[in-house]
Amino acid sequence: MNALSGIRSVGVVGGSLGGLFQAVALADLGLDVTVWERSAGRPHDRGAGIVLQPSVAWFLKMFCGADPDRVSVPVTHRQFFTADGRSHRTPMRQQMISWGSIYQPLRDKLDHGRYREGQLVDALTPRPDGVDIHTGDTVRPVDLAIIAEGSSSRHRELVTRGGDPCYAGYVAYRGVIDEAELPEALGAVFRNRFSFFDGDRTQFLCYFIPGALGAVGPGTRRMNWVWYVRADEAELDRITTDRNGAARGLSLPPGLMAPPVHTELLDRARRVLPQPMRELVEHTREPFAQAILDGRVPRMRTDRMLLTGDAAFVVRPHTAASAMKAAEDAIALFTALQQFPSPEAALDAWAQNRIAEGTALHHRGVALGRRLGLNGPGGTPSRLPREGRRPL
Ligand SMILES: Cc1cc2nc3c(=O)[nH]c(=O)nc-3n(C[C@H](O)[C@H](O)[C@H](O)COP(=O)(O)OP(=O)(O)OC[C@H]3O[C@@H](n4cnc5c(N)ncnc54)[C@H](O)[C@@H]3O)c2cc1C
């Protein structure tokens, strides 16, 4: 007898990577899994690159039958620039992937009956051995609810007090450029490399990721760059107010940067960055931006409700671990439900393990931010969200 005899149905609230990892792994155990996702259609691919960590590669292979080598772009070296454009290299093999190339194989594993898009979960009501999930006029009882609502989770407070994310005091400007649009000589500087520039309280990094439809052949990929820049909250508001004057809160999508902010970005690039990286910023048609957040919960389980992914911990991107953490939440639950004799023992063991891992990652991310000189004044993040801020 194991925990699975007490859990037959699972409701997953939120159908992005965190929810999908859980749903795919639990469906593999034979559980009756339903995902509710408030957005309709394919969620916007943030166009962003992700370092393919071994646990995500393992997950895609084991649960989705995807060959990680065919959906990622390899790098062989890390390359470090100085402000005058000189660089040195050190060997380091890694694989780079895009958000969309992780999302798609996961999404393909769930048919439409299991993945209900365009449906907002408005309430969760705990019962002694389960949870009622409310969407509009419909109530669906499940044995286990997994809250995968991301950093601005509305149901986090049912599981724990505290844990709302804070602004860490800096933003990530980002850009994506089709490889075919890059001058050959510029592309050659970055090919097969994960490139960094650490400046005065700033860091720029870049690498190639799969193309828009997942293509990984030379010439079909995309260059992905990220530039961390300190900004107080007033500055954050200015950066994320779009070209039409609308305050976007914690992130600014591609194509909407206000012209003065774009001009400043280009000026700053010319002042601060080594030449090849400056040229990347200049070649980017639609830069975008997002606030860097810290989120850390003291608990991840209450009764039959669990928090997963960014709803539990929002870790700094320097850890390259956000997607990895979400995958490992799912792998750990998949394992615990088979190993422990009762649901309570399995869910408790899972929560203890994931709190320890998430807390360690959180500390590592803050320490990396401090080492780069990026943390906000005094290294103490200010509280978010403020009234009226739009969530990510
Ligand atoms: C703008 C952005 C850019 C990122 N870029 C990177 C990156 O480059 N590299 C990296 O490693 N990680 C990145 N991440 C983080 C990474 O995507 C996440 O850490 C990881 O995918 C886990 O996210 P999640 O699924 O827990 O949360 P999210 O990706 O935030 O997804 C939450 C989902 O829940 C849905 N939802 C919320 N509430 C409800 C509700 N009540 N009912 C139904 N649906 C609901 C939302 O619509 C959303 O689809 C990024 C995240 C964001 C938000």
* Structural domains of the chain in order of their starting residue, each with its CATH number: 3-46+101-165+298-383 (3.50.50.60)
Ligand 1 centroid to Cα of residue 344, in Å, is 28
Higher pLDDT, 231 or 391: 231
% pLDDT > 70, the chain: 94
What's the confidence (pLDDT) of residue 383?
Answer: 53
Give CA torsion, residues 76, 82, 88, 93, to 10 deg. Answer: -20
Higher pLDDT, 183 or 383: 183
Least confident of 33-37, 197-201, 384-388: 384-388
Mean pLDDT computed over 107-132: 94
Cα–Cα distance measured from residue 390 to residue 392, given in angstroms and rounded to the nearest whole number = 7
Does the pLDDT of residue 12 top 50, yes or no?
yes
Does the pLDDT of residue 327 top 80, yes or no?
yes
Whether 224 is in the pocket of ligand 1, judged by its Cβ within 6 Å, is no
Whether 211 is in the pocket of ligand 1, judged by its Cβ within 6 Å, is no
Name the residue among 389, 333, 250 with its Cα closest to residue 18.
333
Ligand 1 centroid to Cα of residue 262, in Å, is 26
What's the confidence (pLDDT) of residue 155?
Answer: 97
Q: Where would I find the H helices in 201-301?
A: 233-239, 259-272, 275-283
Cα–Cα distance measured from residue 203 to residue 340, given in angstroms and rounded to the nearest whole number = 44
What's the confidence (pLDDT) of residue 5?
Answer: 86
Mean pLDDT computed over 291-299: 96
Residue 377's pLDDT band (cuts 50, 70, 90): low
Whether 50 is in the pocket of ligand 1, judged by its Cβ within 6 Å, is yes
Pairing of strands 166-178, 87-98: unpaired
Query: What 3-state DSSP class applies to 178?
Result: strand
Name the residue among 163, 188, 211 with its Cα closest to residue 385.
163
Q: What ligand 1 atom has the least distance to the C-alpha of 36?
A: 43
Ligand 1 centroid to Cα of residue 43, in Å, is 10
Nearest CA to ligand 1 atom 12: 322
DSSP bridge pairs for 80: 88, 196
Nearest CA to ligand 1 atom 14: 322
What's the confidence (pLDDT) of residue 2?
Answer: 84
Query: Residue 53 — φ and ψ, nearest 5°?
Result: -80, 155
Whether 120 is in the pocket of ligand 1, judged by its Cβ within 6 Å, is yes
Long-range contacts of 182-191 (CB under 8 A, 24+ apart): 182/223, 182/283, 183/279, 183/283, 186/276, 186/279, 186/280, 186/283, 187/223, 189/276, 190/79, 190/223, 190/276, 191/218
Integer angstrom CA distances of residue 292 from 46, 87, 102, 178: 15, 28, 22, 25
What's the confidence (pLDDT) of residue 391?
Answer: 40
**What tens digit of pLDDT does each residue of 190-219 get?**
999 999 999 999 999 999 999 988 889 989
**What tens digit of pLDDT does each residue of 331-365 get?**
999 999 999 999 999 999 999 999 999 999 999 99
Does the pLDDT of residue 112 top 60, yes or no?
yes
Does the pLDDT of residue 386 top 60, yes or no?
no
Top mutation candidate among 24, 34, 38 for ligand 1, by most atoms within 8 Å of CB:
38
Lookup: tokens for 101: 């190339």
Whether 154 is in the pocket of ligand 1, judged by its Cβ within 6 Å, is yes
Whether 47 is in the pocket of ligand 1, judged by its Cβ within 6 Å, is no
Ligand 1 centroid to Cα of residue 202, in Å, is 25
Q: What ligand 1 atom has the least distance to the C-alpha of 50?
A: 9
Integer angstrom CA distances of residue 138 from 32, 111, 119, 248, 353: 18, 20, 11, 32, 34
Task: Report yes or no: 208 and 50 within 8 Å, Cβ to Cβ.
Answer: no
Name the residue among 114, 110, 143 with its Cα closest to residue 126.
143
Q: What ligand 1 atom has the least distance to the C-alpha of 224?
A: 8
Pairing of strands 73-81, 193-199: parallel
Q: Which helix (H) or strand (E) holds 28?
A: helix 17-28
Whether 309 is in the pocket of ligand 1, judged by its Cβ within 6 Å, is yes
Task: Report yes or no: 115 and 259 within 8 Å, Cβ to Cβ.
Answer: no
Mean pLDDT computed over 124-142: 96
What's the confidence (pLDDT) of residue 378?
Answer: 47
Q: What ligand 1 atom has the least distance to the C-alpha of 43?
A: 49
Integer angstrom CA distances of residue 72 from 50, 102, 214: 10, 10, 8
Nearest CA to ligand 1 atom 9: 50
Q: What ligand 1 atom has the least distance to the C-alpha of 251?
A: 1
Top mutation candidate among 55, 110, 310, 392 for ligand 1, by most atoms within 8 Å of CB:
310
Please state, rounded to an integer, the average pLDDT across all residues of the chain: 93
Q: What ligand 1 atom has the least distance to the C-alpha of 48?
A: 8
What's the confidence (pLDDT) of residue 138?
Answer: 95
Whether 392 is in the pocket of ligand 1, judged by its Cβ within 6 Å, is yes
